[in-house]
Structure 1
Amino acid sequence: MKIRRQKKSQKILAFFQSNFALQAPYTVLLDATFCRAALEGKVLIKEQIPKYLGAQTKIVTTQCIILEVEKLSKISSKLYGTWIVVKQFPVHKCGHEGDPVPASFCAKSLLGKNNPGKYIMASQDPELRSHVHQEVVGTPILYLHQSAPTLEKPTKKVYKLSSHEETTLKTLKRKHFGETIQEPPRKKKKAKNPHSLSCKKSKKVKQANQQKTDGKRKRKRHKRKGGAAKDMSRSE
């Protein structure tokens, strides 16, 4: 089972390496929810996480996360052990020194929209993980599943490429592999009725037709008034 889990983790990490420039040594940003679950499941974070990821790993937290757990531990003694665990890790600068913010807000601000720090987010908080899925594309999420470190599979949103990325990928394929790009078949235009103005005949054609018809017409003779009386006088 351990070998199978490690193969899955390496496959997921390889995806983020090739698509989002994630490289070892990895930086894991953990919050108090992960430390609480590790304490309950007797997980040795410093030993098991680097072993699971298969590379040198730096595990960090922030001052905001530590201070929040410290305040909560004074209210609930159950969180005292969590505070002891989380403050063992190096404190990463978050920009909120002297003016601490809620732990989830601090983590979100570090991740931003594109995860410029290339963090692996370690959390059990469903709201924070959902935020990472929806808003921070390209960020691996690490959580504990039955006391075992587990990387979440990339979502469909991560696999979806933008139009610019698709055209770039097609260009690279054609350049390096000589693949021909199959363009989608064009839709046949439906035959439309001709415009009424286009059906009008030209003036030249009309004149020519009129001349032909005039030549074929027979002239009718009209009798003049009084003509019959003159003919009678001449005969007498």
Structure 2
Amino acid sequence: MRQKRAKAYKKLMGMYELVFGFRQPYQVLVDSGMCMSAQDHKIELVKQLETVLQGKIKPMITQCCIVELYKLGKERQPAVDLAKGFERRKCNHREAIDGNACLKSVVGDTNKHRYIIASQSQELRAELRKVQAVPLVHIKMSVMILEPPSDETIRVKAELTQEALDVPEEEKKELPSTAPKEAEFVAKPRRKAKGPNPLSVKKKQPKLPMISPRPQPQRLDTLELKRKRDDEDGDVREDGAPKKKRRRRKRPNESESIHTTVEQNTIEERDT
């Protein structure tokens, strides 16, 4: 079975359970035509019924329907064997009558015992659609189908739902009134203006003591310093021409002086 069809059948059986009180295992009344169709299409009738009805079932058959199968002869012996495995439903008919009339009498006007009818007879199904809460099952092209609820079933369901929602007048008087009371006007105090968020405000910096700046030495220009040095060294002649600078001797390091003294001593010793 396809998922979409299985979901629709489960929803439909849930409606029968919730509104009309159907319970598992479902009581399924099978007629002779359904037994023969199951044998012709090689369908496992009980297993397929459980799949369509989405639950456990209790297959049942009346004595009048079994008599119909006996009258068909040995050709329908497999259908008779299948029907013998079902539970017998007493129809209280002393003499066997037509199977459709038998099932209709068992269901009655209100389907008090909550039967599900599995029948291949279109006449029987048309008659049972006039009765409230009668799920109908039949086989079409080797596919088992659960019919949608009839108009009578939908009408009764709407009435039951409305009765459940309505409250009697006596109970309405006992219930407390739900009308809104006239609220007295109360002046609400005005809200004071709030300051800024203290977490979002920048903290104030502490004031540091004023420090006087250090006096900076007066800088002379590089040219003036150079002229001053030249005047002190006497590098300028009387005619204004610059004198040649004398090369200053570098002072020897201590290591060099020691080395020279050692060499002089060695030379003197040789001479002596």
Unaligned runs of 5+ in 1: 181-236
Q: 1:163 to 1:23 in 2, by over 3 A?
A: closer
Shift of residue 167, structure 1, vs aligned partner:
5.2
Q: 1:151 aligns with which of 126, 130, 146?
A: 146
Paired position in structure 1 for 2:228: none
Matches within 5 A, 1:8-23: 8-23=8-23
Question: How many percent of aligned residue pairs carry the same amino acid?
Answer: 28
Aligned partner of 1:100: which letter? Answer: A
Q: Separation in 2 of the partners of 1:18 and 1:49?
A: 20
Residue by residue over 1:148-178, the C-alpha shift from the partner in whole angstroms, topping out at 9 and shown as x without a partner, is 2221001222212499647524415xx9xxx
Residue by residue over 1:49-92, the C-alpha shift from the partner in whole angstroms, topping out at 9 and shown as x without a partner, is 11332222100101111012211x13xx5444433332232212
Paired position in structure 2 for 1:33: 33
Matches within 5 A, 1:194-209: none
Q: 1:133 to 1:61 in 2, by over 3 A?
A: same
Matches within 5 A, 1:37-186: 37-71=37-71, 73-74=72-73, 78-96=75-93, 98-134=94-130, 136-161=131-156, 165=160, 168-171=163-166
Q: Separation in 1 of the partners of 2:149 and 2:18?
A: 13
Q: Separation in 2 of the partners of 1:54 and 1:166?
A: 24
Rg comparison, structure with higher value: 2
* 2:55 partner SS: coil
Aligned partner of 1:38: which letter? Answer: A
Instruction: Compute the RMSD of aligned alpha carbons.
Output: 2.4
* Count of matched residue pairs: 169
Residue by residue over 1:180-210, the C-alpha shift from the partner in whole angstroms, topping out at 9 and shown as x without a partner, is 9xxxxxxxxxxxxxxxxxxxxxxxxxxxxxx
Is the contact between residue 31 and residue 118 of structure 2 (CA under 8 Å) also seen in structure 1? yes
Q: TM-score, normalised by structure 2?
A: 0.56
Residue by residue over 1:71-126, the C-alpha shift from the partner in whole angstroms, topping out at 9 and shown as x without a partner, is 1x13xx54444333322322122212x42222111101110011111110000100
Q: Which moved more, 1:139-148 or 1:29-38?
A: 139-148
Paired position in structure 2 for 1:224: none
Unaligned runs of 5+ in 2: 172-177, 179-272
Q: Separation in 2 of the partners of 1:61 and 1:170?
A: 39
Is the contact between residue 120 and residue 140 of structure 1 (CA under 8 Å) also seen in structure 2? yes
**Higher fraction of helix:** 1
Q: 1:162 to 1:149 in 2, by over 3 A?
A: closer
Is the contact between residue 61 and residue 92 of structure 1 (CA under 8 Å) also seen in structure 2? yes
Is the contact between residue 9 and residue 150 of structure 1 (CA under 8 Å) also seen in structure 2? no
Shift of residue 45, structure 1, vs aligned partner:
0.9
Q: Separation in 2 of the partners of 1:150 and 1:8?
A: 11
Is the contact between residue 19 and residue 157 of structure 2 (CA under 8 Å) also seen in structure 1? no
